[in-house]
């Protein structure tokens, strides 16, 4: 019988899902995120966000979703800290207490995509300071698989294809000696 050994985590790829109001200039947000998390190595196209009207009252009706990822790898135990930083960016860009951006940080490795959230649920793991981790998608059979609790927008083929592109960046980084 082998005894488990305490070790260190392997760094993961930081992915940011941005839900953006039409009134927020994306370029300034990108610069602020790069100052916090390092250079962006993937910036996806803005896509109309029509899956729910949950955010309309607060952010307006013309919302877009965009994914970005960062070249600098992060250790998975930083996920709560990253969510706290992104909540600060959301507050900074709010107008009259209404957010103009909703940032969903996630971490990706070759086998899964994990999102940070402030909302508790039975399938979420508490990290710290009211931040939870959710296994959102699992990679198997050459694709990201939807789980029973996966948010409907993350289940979309379009979103999963983007995450597959980012996963390919991660694979190439690994072949060059990165993560």
Q: Which pLDDT tens digit goes with each residue over 91-125?
A: 999 999 999 999 999 999 999 999 999 999 999 99
pLDDT attached to residue 177: 44
Question: In this predicted structure, which of 25-29, 91-95, 102-106, 127-131 has the lowest mean pLDDT?
Answer: 25-29
- For residue 13 the two structure tokens come to 């790829």
pLDDT attached to residue 46: 92
Between β-strands 131-140 and 143-146, what pairing exists: parallel, antiparallel or unpaired?
Answer: antiparallel
pLDDT attached to residue 23: 77
SS3 label, residue 10? coil
Res 163 pLDDT > 60:
yes
Cβ atoms of 30 and 39 within 8 Å: the answer is no
E runs forming strands in the chain: 13-21, 40-43, 47-48, 63-70, 101-108, 112-117, 125-128, 131-140, 143-146
Res 179 pLDDT > 70:
no
Q: Which DSSP letter does residue 28 get?
A: H
pTM of this structure = 0.92
pLDDT attached to residue 176: 53
Question: Count of CB atoms within 10 A of residue 12's CB?
Answer: 22
């Amino acid at each position: 019988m082998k005894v488990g050994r305490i070790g260190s985590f392997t760094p993961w790829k930081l992915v940011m899902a941005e839900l953006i109001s039409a009134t927020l200039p994306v370029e300034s947000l990108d610069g602020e995120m790069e100052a916090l998390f390092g250079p962006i190595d993937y910036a996806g196209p803005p896509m109309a966000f029509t899956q729910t009207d949950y955010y309309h009252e607060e952010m307006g009706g013309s919302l877009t979703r965009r994914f970005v990822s960062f070249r600098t790898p992060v250790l998975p135990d930083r996920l709560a800290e990253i969510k706290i930083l992104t909540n600060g960016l959301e507050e900074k860009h709010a107008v009259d207490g209404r957010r103009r951006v909703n940032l969903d940080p996630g971490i990706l490795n070759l086998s899964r995509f994990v999102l940070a959230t402030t909302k508790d649920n039975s399938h979420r793991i508490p990290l710290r300071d009211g931040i939870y981790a959710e296994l959102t998608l699992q990679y198997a059979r050459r694709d990201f698989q939807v789980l029973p609790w996966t948010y409907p927008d993350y289940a979309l083929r379009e979103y999963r294809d983007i995450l597959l592109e980012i996963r390919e960046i991660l694979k190439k980084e690994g072949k060059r000696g990165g993560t």
